[in-house]
Structure 1
Amino acid sequence: MSAAEQSIVQFDNVGLRYGTDREVLSDISFTLYPGSFYFLTGASGAGKTSMLKLLYLAQRPTRGAIRMFGHDLITQKRGRLPDFRRRIGTVFQDFRLIPHLTAFDNVALPLRISGMSEGEIAKPVSDMLEWVGLDHRRDARPATLSGGEQQRVAIARAVIARPEILVADEPTGNVDPDMAVKLLRLFEALNRLGTTVVVATHDVHLLRKVPDSLIMRLDRGTLSDPTGALRYPPRREAAGS
């Protein structure tokens, strides 16, 4: 099986510009492999959020090719994209919680959309809220939660359905260091179940917290890959093949 056939995401010479401005991403090429953990780093303005938008299918590239889950996304009709998005968990920098829903109902939303019954939903949602330290705030609405609490609800919502890909934009930016480590452990646990994880962060200290992670560095819209780790399966994957 070729590397491309093993991949879950593949970008080939992808470029992105907004309107008539210069490209914010240029000639981006990489391959993500199932069950791997990646950190996306770079200075403010390097293009991290723009690249994540391409990964969670909120934006189409200006040029180049993207394959995901074995499909060419560039040729897909827009009506097919929601099917792909349901396989991706996303933690947004601005949380995007639904204001009229409680913390419990925000976290439960992906399970309800997938068709699970209320009886099936109650325990996993309660367990997830307990894991992120918010079981006592299950009935609170977003406006009454602190920024860190909203962040934890957003993370719980993103991982509750065990997505095939998790994309997180600065997921520890509004929590204290102890909670940041706990949330990373949650991502690691999900990763061990097979989810491919991509965490964008400017916090270099986090990079040392996940020993088997791979690092993608953006610099002014271009991606550096000095080790080739983004083109070939990680060594631990190859060893198990």
Structure 2
Amino acid sequence: MTGAIARFDNVGLRYGTDREVLCDVSFSLFAGQFYFLTGASGAGKSSLLRMLYLAQRPSRGVISLFGTDAVSLPRDRLPGFRRRIGVVYQDYRLVPHLSAFDNVALPLRMAGMDERDVARPVADMLAWVGLADRMAARPASLSGGEQQRVAIARAVIGRPELLVADEPTGNVDSDMAVKLLRLFEALNRLGTTVVVATHDMNLLQRLPDSLIMRLDKGRMSDPTGALRYPPKRQTPLGAGL
């Protein structure tokens, strides 16, 4: 599958009467690709991601997602689209009264998976992110880095078509950052399109064949030359990991 699963055409975003946070942003995301979104603090990365996972509508322009006009999408269709998107939030957004296990299991249960089939994949995912011994812990008893790992496990447990991650390695050490990047890469190899917003230039070096989107004062630049058309090279990701 190599078609565009998301497309922004001349998208602008402003909050209230302030100047535009994003201005004339145009790009396409192609199925099965791995993207990094970079830019200085305040460049508009989080705002762009919010529109990508349907938490924010643009002030102007066209956004197409999975072949459908996402701007005019009726509210009753939003939940179905959002289930196709995994999101790693900067502020984690874990459910405070649920254990780590139940937070990660939430997408599977909402999708209607039989409870007998939930335990194994959730346990495996928590073990992968180094939390096999913290499954029963509630978010308040977890460190910031542990909460981040639970949030990542929850985002990828359902193998979404599109994974959007906002600074996913910001609260973990370098070894865990590499491990999490490998998790994203493994999901990408299964066909998920991945978009990771990050300030960490070391992550970009770990995946030299990834595609880079760069925001500067609300405008998009395309240093890889691959945001409007499918990349010509399909080099396997992560050869240097």
TM range (shorter): over 0.9
Partner of 1:22: 19
Partner of 2:165: 168
Query: What's the secondary structure of 2:37's corresponding residue?
Result: strand
Query: What's the secondary structure of 1:162's corresponding residue?
Result: coil
Partner of 1:90: 87
- Choose the corresponding residue for 1:183, options 175, 180, 184: 180
Offset of 1:212 from its aligned partner?
Answer: 2.1
- Choose the corresponding residue for 1:134, options 131, 134, 156: 131
**CA distance, structure 2, for counterparts of residue 208 and residue 228 of structure 1:** 18
Letter in 2 for 1:150: Q
Instruction: Give unmatched runs, 5+ long, in structure 1.
Output: none
Are 1:224 and 2:226 matched, yes or no?
A: no
Are 1:65 and 2:62 matched, yes or no?
A: yes
**Superposition map of 1:92-241 within 5 A:** 92-237=89-234
Offset of 1:123 from its aligned partner?
Answer: 0.3
Q: Greater share of helix residues, 1 or 2?
A: 1
Query: What's the secondary structure of 1:80's corresponding residue?
Result: helix
Moved segments of 4+, more than 6 Å: none
Q: State the Cα deviation string for residues 107-145 of structure 1 (Å, max 9, x = none).
A: 000000000011100000000000000010000000000
**CA distance, structure 2, for counterparts of residue 205 and residue 211 of structure 1:** 10
**CA distance, structure 1, for counterparts of residue 234 and residue 177 of structure 2:** 27
Task: Please say if residues 213 and 223 of structure 2, whose CA atoms lie closer than 8 Å, have aligned partners that are also in contact.
Answer: no
Letter in 2 for 1:104: F
**CA distance, structure 1, for counterparts of residue 124 and residue 204 of structure 2:** 27
Instruction: Give unmatched runs, 5+ long, in structure 2.
Output: 236-241
Q: State the Cα deviation string for residues 143-188 of structure 1 (Å, max 9, x = none).
A: 0000000000000000000000000000000000000000000000
- Please give the root-mean-square deviation of Cα atoms over the aligned residues, in Å: 1.6
Greater CA deviation, 226-235 or 148-157? Answer: 226-235
Offset of 1:237 from its aligned partner?
Answer: 4.6
Letter in 2 for 1:204: M
Are 1:13 and 2:14 matched, yes or no?
A: no
Q: Percent identity?
A: 74
